[in-house]
Structure 1
Amino acid sequence: MNEIPEEWLKKIVRKQDIDELIKKFYEFCTNKAIKEEYGSL
């Protein structure tokens, strides 16, 4: 993300919604990987 020009980021429509979806997807993937590796949390 740090390499993406700020002017490009400003043009993204509904960026906050997209950021939230990315965060939720990351958390889902992380939790899934932990569960697969170590079992239930």
Structure 2
Amino acid sequence: LIAQMVGAGQLIKLLFGLEYWMAVVIVGVMMVIYVTFGGMIA
């Protein structure tokens, strides 16, 4: 999961021009919301 957050953070940084840490936080929040609503099944 960490590798996904890092990669997605780099992508968002590149596409939207946000700070890297902000992009990683946004991805982390989106992942938590997705999992909370039953997304990632083990």
Normalised by the length of structure 2, the TM-score is 0.48
Which structure: greater helix fraction? 2
Q: Which has the higher contact order (CA 8 A, sep 6+)?
A: 2
Task: Mark the structure with the bigger radius of gyration.
Answer: 1
